[in-house]
């Protein structure tokens, strides 16, 4: 009898020490998850709201969101990772995933995903967030661009814009319209209204520019890198690519419908007739240029219809001491339910099929243009750890071409440097 | 001579009878210790670490660093962008250092005169220094717009042709130079102003009695007595000019066609954008060596003693 | 002075005034435009940016909306307080630490003096971007990430400040030192009672420059500070430039708020630029 009691007490002790070690007794202790991202009010506010509901559901997890200016966000994150003080979750731009994954700075997450969740992702999104057989992030949304136009200027020039993706203009129709719309009103030799500009045509050297400029190459049947992302020679400087780049060169230097230095905010101030931009601009114009009326039409195309896609997502860092809890928050924001809340706050194109089904406005003008383009014609940017160099070279290439550099030379120069970098990852 | 040795004797006698005090070397070391400690920990050690990194292939995100010997240094010799950005930085410094320093001296003398509203003038020239770099670069970017920025508007009113400014690979660097001088001349001016305060008024009065004009008192009193301040300004301005980064980053992104890509901008890009910290460190040390030599030369030629 | 000479004097003075005035105007015009634009609604700022009209410099619908947004969207008042705190402490401590060291380098003899000075000076040469990561590692080791110590302590000792003050100190005549030594003054006493008081312009200049450098610091505060409660001003201003769009009105408003205090401080400090040593001044 006393033996049984002794065994009972022993097993009770063992059980309680096991429980102690498993951390369950830490139910009184809070785990803090830190999430870093670049600053943008609509997105940040939405995520803070989601954090509140998350913390209400999981009272032992505290979520802290810290934001930093976009211009130096990458520097901040990379220094923190290098300095061994990284947060648990980081906002990460889709094409950068391969680089972070390659150096094991972030952890693979497919083990946490349910099959249902994976199937719910758009094909383009799945391609974007997968590398080396693993899924590395929770996707926040997708991105897309279209042509915003000024209806008043269109009417004056007797131009009728296409209303659906099927009616989209060809490059030639696009160029014709741009030529008609570019005007020097007061005859002083200075163009007062530019035909076209915006993303991909602003010749800046940032990711947004590569994002919007690459489709010019794709639409003519060209590619950036080989299918296995091992080289650029023969792809970036293929005849199709160079032909597309020549058309790009013409816009700036021959037809002069676009300019290397447009006035700031040219489109909403009536100094530009067509502007290539994304759905996030809708909220911007609504808030800051409430009296400005504009329309949206699909991107033009040449040999095939292609649009860019991909956006910023949430990844869990390898230095995180609470990867499971971090994933829980990532899933809270990027899972099916979170994605719906996210769309309502940010009006960005969604990454999940369920989000499209939940909001009929995705199929109404103007969102219908973005929706159809994304679902049918989206192509992700090249996935490679060498992406930082690739994107910089491509932005530089478009920049140089806009400034007058010969397209074939610019492409060849970019190829040399890109291939040298790609060779490091063979 | 004799008087001095008598005095020093007195000092020695007095010294031995004074309440105990530190000997000169100990006082010296003690006084410099806090500063040296701070600089040692937060500057010297990081610099040594960075030097070590320059011999590795450290890629910032990956904690593993492999030694690659002199590879990084060999690579930079073959890197056309390295040479281009070096050239750009030296071009920038070669114009800015003499121009800005001379202008700063001129302005300092100007606002040192007993003219009304000199407080206003001093503040006006100093305001750009205080303006945030982001705001300043933005404003100049708009002013330089080739279609009808402020500057081109004025040129057109005067009947002159419009200029491409930042969109021309020839004019971009001079345009950036003008903006940088505007931004920093007040800084040098303020230092020269402080230096001018140290020149006793009596000296000017004395030579004026002897009949010397403004130019002569400038040449024989002001300039020589400002030598130490001038050395400081030249050394610091050279260092800052060769390390210039922000304005190019915000206004031109290094373009057009790399015309305004300075070496530090290139280093930053390699370090944080391409994440090749090892290579970036090597670039930084080559720059370091060059500036060090320049600084030594400046000290040698300008660091002489000044007698009253 | 005969009439023609006096007339010439007035003429040159008039030319001087006019020239200075236009130069000063050119210098502050960009700043004025930013200041005026901060009171314009966003849509109006670039409507009249060019071609140049009078509307460029006058808000047609003046509004305080930008300022309101600056203070409500980010804890900007907190940023200003933080920056004031960090800048003040760093400046004052720095003045003491650096002037002491500069005095030793300028006046005292000890073995290795010039070599050490030059080594310190050479730390000014390296570009900060490259030493940022090792510095961050050290600060992390000290446990100062996301604290104001990380901003203050590394900023106190400054080779720049030591260099500046050493040059100023060297210009003070040695006779004063020697006289004080005869009177029984200690090394520290000479520093405190002779060198410091006579270097007011130099000290004020360094104080101003240090304060300004800390006030407008961007990269290092961005890197080491994580929480918004501790963040500094320049980082706050940069937040208004986002991935998708730039909120110019807010940037101009925040920029004006950031630069105004310094300009005021500078104007007040003018009276301290008094003339230095006068030969008849010492006993």
DSSP labels, chain B:
-HHHHHHHHHHHHHHHHSSP---HHHHHHHHHHHHHHHHIIIIIHHHHHHHHHTTB---SS-S---B-TTHHHHHHHT-HHHHHHHHHHHHHHHHHHHHHHHHHHHHHHHHHSS-TTHHHHHHHHHHHHHS-HHHHHHHHHHHT-TTT-HHHHHHHHTTPPP--GGGSTTTHHHHHHHHHHHHHHHHHHHHHHHHHHTS-HHHHHHHHHTT--HHHHIIIIIHHHTHHHHHHHHHHHHHHHHT--HHHHHHTTT-STTTT--HHHHHHIIIIIS--HHHHHHHHHHHHHHHHHHHHHHHHHH------
- The pLDDT, as a whole number, for residue A413 is 93
- The pLDDT, as a whole number, for residue A8 is 61
On whether any CB of chain C is under 8 Å from the CB of A80, the answer is yes
Does the pLDDT of residue B249 top 60, yes or no? yes
pLDDT class of A254 with cuts at 50, 70, 90? very high
**A85 to chain B, closest Cα gap in Å:** 12
User: Is residue B42 one of the residues assigned to a domain?
Assistant: no
DSSP state of A312: E
Does the pLDDT of residue C47 top 90, yes or no? no
Bridge partners (DSSP) of residue C246 are C241
- The pLDDT, as a whole number, for residue C274 is 44
- The pLDDT, as a whole number, for residue C184 is 81
Does the pLDDT of residue A92 top 80, yes or no? yes
Q: What is the mean pLDDT of residues C15-40?
A: 87
3-state class (DSSP) for residue A310: coil
pLDDT class of C275 with cuts at 50, 70, 90? very low
- The pLDDT, as a whole number, for residue A24 is 43
Does the pLDDT of residue B20 top 90, yes or no? no
Does A75 contact B275 at a Cβ distance shorter than 8 Å? no
Q: What is the mean pLDDT of residues C116-136?
A: 88
Please name each of the domains of chain A with its CATH number.
28-139+312-347 (3.40.190.10), 146-309+382-423 (3.40.190.10)
User: Is residue B150 one of the residues assigned to a domain?
Assistant: no
CA nearest A75 in C: which residue? C223
Does B45 contact C138 at a Cβ distance shorter than 8 Å? yes
Interface test with C, best of B108, B112, B197 (most C CBs within 10 A): B197
pLDDT in tens, C91-109: 999 999 999 999 999 988 8
The residue count of chain B comes to: 308
Does the pLDDT of residue A10 top 80, yes or no? no
Q: What is the mean pLDDT of residues B133-154?
A: 83
ipTM of predicted complex: 0.85
d(CA C220, CA C200): 30
By residue range, what is the domain housing residue B290?
79-136+164-302
User: Is residue B48 one of the residues assigned to a domain?
Assistant: no
pLDDT class of C272 with cuts at 50, 70, 90? low
Ordered strands of the A146-149 beta sheet: A194-198, A272-277, A146-149, A295-297
> How many independent structural domains does chain B possess?
1
Does the pLDDT of residue B307 top 50, yes or no? no
Does the pLDDT of residue A28 top 60, yes or no? no
Does the pLDDT of residue A27 top 70, yes or no? no
Does the pLDDT of residue B96 top 50, yes or no? yes
**pLDDT, chain C, mean:** 85
CATH code: domain of residue B273? 1.10.3720.10
- The pLDDT, as a whole number, for residue B202 is 80
Does the pLDDT of residue B8 top 70, yes or no? no
Long-range contact pairs involving B262-266 (C-beta distance under 8 Å, separation at least 24): B262/B85, B262/B88, B262/B89, B262/B92, B263/B82, B263/B85, B263/B86, B263/B88, B263/B89, B263/B287, B264/B89, B264/C127, B264/C129, B265/B85, B266/B81, B266/B82, B266/B85
Task: Report, in angstroms and rounded to the nearest whole number, the Rg of chain C calculated over CA atoms.
Answer: 24
pLDDT class of A215 with cuts at 50, 70, 90? very high
In A, which residues are within 8 Å of C132 by CB distance?
79
**C207 to chain B, closest Cα gap in Å:** 11
Please name each of the domains of chain C with its CATH number.
3-66 (no CATH), 74-239 (1.10.3720.10)
Neighbours of C81 (CB within 10 A): 12
pLDDT class of A327 with cuts at 50, 70, 90? very high
**pLDDT, chain A, mean:** 90
Does the pLDDT of residue A221 top 70, yes or no? yes
- The pLDDT, as a whole number, for residue B306 is 40
d(CA A220, CA A236): 12
User: Is residue B297 one of the residues assigned to a domain?
Assistant: yes
User: Is residue B65 one of the residues assigned to a domain?
Assistant: no
CA nearest C227 in A: which residue? A66
d(CA A51, CA A345): 14
CA distances for A142 relative to A308, A331, B32, angstroms? 10, 16, 58
Q: What is the mean pLDDT of residues C153-163?
A: 93
Does the pLDDT of residue B308 top 80, yes or no? no
Does the pLDDT of residue A347 top 90, yes or no? no
pLDDT in tens, C208-230: 889 989 998 999 999 999 999 99
3-state class (DSSP) for residue A184: coil
3-state class (DSSP) for residue A162: coil
Which of residues B1 and A130 earns the better pLDDT score?
Answer: A130
- The pLDDT, as a whole number, for residue B272 is 92
3-state class (DSSP) for residue A244: helix
Q: What is the mean pLDDT of residues A64-77?
A: 94
Is residue A388 packed enough to be buried (19+ CB in 10 Å), middle (13-18) or exposed (0-12)?
buried
Which of residues A220 and C282 earns the better pLDDT score?
Answer: A220
pLDDT class of B305 with cuts at 50, 70, 90? very low
In B, which residues are within 8 Å of A400 by CB distance?
256-257
- The pLDDT, as a whole number, for residue B1 is 47
pLDDT class of A13 with cuts at 50, 70, 90? low
CA nearest B270 in A: which residue? A389
Q: What is the mean pLDDT of residues B71-75?
A: 91
CA distances for A81 relative to A105, A415, C148, angstroms? 7, 30, 20
Which of residues A30 and A32 earns the better pLDDT score?
Answer: A32
Does the pLDDT of residue B211 top 80, yes or no? no
Neighbours of A93 (CB within 10 A): 20
On whether any CB of chain C is under 8 Å from the CB of A37, the answer is no
d(CA B58, CA B64): 7
Q: Choose among A33, A37, A30: nearest CA to A346.
A: A37
């Amino acid at each position: 009898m006393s033996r049984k009691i002794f065994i009972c007490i022993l097993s009770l002790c063992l059980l309680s020490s096991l429980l102690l070690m498993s951390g369950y007794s830490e139910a009184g202790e809070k785990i803090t998850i830190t999430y870093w991202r670049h600053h943008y009010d609509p997105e940040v506010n939405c995520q803070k709201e989601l954090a509140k509901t998350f913390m209400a559901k999981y009272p032992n997890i505290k979520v802290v969101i810290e934001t930093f200016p976009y211009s130096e966000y990458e520097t901040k994150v990379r220094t923190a990772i290098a300095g061994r003080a990284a947060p648990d979750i980081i906002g990460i731009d889709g094409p950068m995933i391969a680089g972070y994954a390659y150096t094991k700075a972030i952890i693979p997450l497919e083990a946490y995903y349910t099959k249902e969740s994976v199937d719910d992702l758009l094909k383009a999104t799945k391609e974007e967030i997968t590398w080396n057989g693993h899924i590395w992030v929770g996707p926040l949304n997708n991105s897309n661009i279209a042509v915003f136009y000024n209806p008043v200027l269109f009417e004056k020039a007797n131009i009728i814009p296409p209303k659906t993706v099927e009616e989209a203009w060809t490059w030639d129709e696009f160029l014709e319209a741009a030529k008609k719309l570019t005007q020097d009103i007061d005859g002083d030799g200075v163009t007062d209204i530019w035909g076209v500009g915006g993303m991909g045509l602003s010749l800046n050297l940032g990711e947004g520019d590569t994002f919007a400029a690459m489709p010019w190459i794709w639409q003519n049947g060209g590619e950036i890198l080989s299918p296995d992302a091992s080289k650029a020679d023969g792809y970036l400087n293929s005849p199709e690519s160079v032909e597309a780049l020549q058309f790009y060169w013409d816009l700036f230097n021959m037809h002069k419908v676009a300019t290397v230095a447009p006035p700031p905010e040219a489109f909403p101030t009536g100094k530009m007739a067509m502007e290539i931009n994304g759905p996030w601009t809708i909220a911007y114009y609504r808030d800051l240029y409430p009296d400005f009326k504009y329309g949206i039409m699909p991107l033009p195309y040449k040999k095939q219809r292609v649009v860019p896609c991909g956006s910023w997502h949430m990844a869990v860092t390898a230095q995180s001491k609470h990867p499971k809890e971090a994933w829980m928050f990532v899933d809270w924001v990027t899972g099916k339910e979170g994605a719906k809340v996210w769309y309502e706050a940010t009006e960005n194109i969604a990454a999940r099929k369920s989000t499209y089904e939940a909001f009929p406005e995705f199929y109404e003008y103007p969102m219908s243009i973005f929706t159809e383009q994304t679902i049918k014609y989206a192509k992700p940017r090249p996935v490679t750890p060498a992406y930082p160099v690739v994107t910089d070279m491509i932005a530089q290439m478009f920049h140089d071409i806009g400034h007058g550099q010969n397209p074939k030379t610019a492409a060849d120069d970019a190829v040399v440097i890109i291939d040298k970098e790609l060779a490091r990852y063979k | 001579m004799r008087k001095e040795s008598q005095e020093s004797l007195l000092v020695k006698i007095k010294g031995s009878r004074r309440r105990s005090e530190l000997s000169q070397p100990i006082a010296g070391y003690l006084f410099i210790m806090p500063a040296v400690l701070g600089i040692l920990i937060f500057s010297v050690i990081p610099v040594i670490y960075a030097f070590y990194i320059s011999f590795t292939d450290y890629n910032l995100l990956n904690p593993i660093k492999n030694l690659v010997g002199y590879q990084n240094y060999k690579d930079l010799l073959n890197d056309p962008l390295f040479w281009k950005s070096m050239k750009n930085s030296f071009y920038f410094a070669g114009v800015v250092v003499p121009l800005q320093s001379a202008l700063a001296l001129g302005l300092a003398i100007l606002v040192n005169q007993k003219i009304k509203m000199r407080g206003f003038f001093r503040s006006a020239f100093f305001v750009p220094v205080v303006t945030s770099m982001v705001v300043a670069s933005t404003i100049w970017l708009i002013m330089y717009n080739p279609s009808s920025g402020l500057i081109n508007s004025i040129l057109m009113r005067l009947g002159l042709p419009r200029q491409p400014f930042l969109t021309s690979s020839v004019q971009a660097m001079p345009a950036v130079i003008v903006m940088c001088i505007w931004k920093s001349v007040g800084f040098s001016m303020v230092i020269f102003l402080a230096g001018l305060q140290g020149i006793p008024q009596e000296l000017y009065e004395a030579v004026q009695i002897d009949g010397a004009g403004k130019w002569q008192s400038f040449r024989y009193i002001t300039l020589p007595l400002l030598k130490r301040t001038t050395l400081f300004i030249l050394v610091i301005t050279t260092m800052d000019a060769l390390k210039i980064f922000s304005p190019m980053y915000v206004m031109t992104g290094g373009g057009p066609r790399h015309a305004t890509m300075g070496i530090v901008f290139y280093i930053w890009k390699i370090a944080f954008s391409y994440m090749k910290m090892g290579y970036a460190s090597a670039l930084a040390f080559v720059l370091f060596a060059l500036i060090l030599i320049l600084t030594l030369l400046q000290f040698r030629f300008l660091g002489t003693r000044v007698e009253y | 002075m005969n009439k023609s000479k006096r007339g010439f004097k007035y003429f040159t003075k008039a030319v001087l005034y006019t020239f200075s005035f236009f130069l000063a105007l050119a210098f502050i015009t960009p700043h004025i435009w930013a200041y005026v634009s901060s009171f314009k609604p966003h849509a109006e700022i670039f409507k009249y940016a060019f071609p140049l009209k009078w509307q460029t410099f006058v808000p047609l619908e003046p509004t305080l909306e930008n300022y309101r947004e600056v203070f409500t969207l980010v804890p900007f008042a907190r940023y200003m307080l933080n920056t004031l705190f960090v800048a003040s402490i760093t400046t004052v401590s720095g003045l003491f630490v650096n002037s002491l060291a500069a005095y030793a380098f300028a006046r005292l003899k000890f073995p290795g003096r010039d070599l050490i000075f030059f080594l310190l000076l050479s730390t000014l040469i390296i570009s900060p971007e490259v030493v940022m990561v090792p510095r961050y590692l050290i600060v992390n080791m000290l446990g100062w990430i996301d604290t104001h110590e990380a901003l203050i302590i590394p900023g106190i000792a400054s080779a720049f400040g030591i260099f500046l003050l050493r040059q100023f100190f060297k210009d003070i005549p040695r006779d004063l030192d020697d006289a004080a030594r005869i009177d029984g003054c200690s090394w520290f006493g000479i520093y405190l009672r002779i060198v410091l008081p006579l270097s007011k312009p130099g000290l004020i200049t360094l104080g101003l420059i240090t304060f300004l450098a800390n006030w407008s610091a961007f990269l290092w505060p961005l890197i080491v500070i994580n929480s918004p409660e501790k963040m500094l001003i320049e980082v706050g201003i940069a937040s208004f430039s986002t991935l998708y769009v730039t909120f110019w009105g807010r940037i101009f408003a925040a920029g004006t708020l950031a630069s105004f205090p310094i300009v005021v401080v500078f104007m007040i400090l003018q009276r301290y630029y008094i003339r230095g040593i006068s030969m008849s001044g010492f006993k």
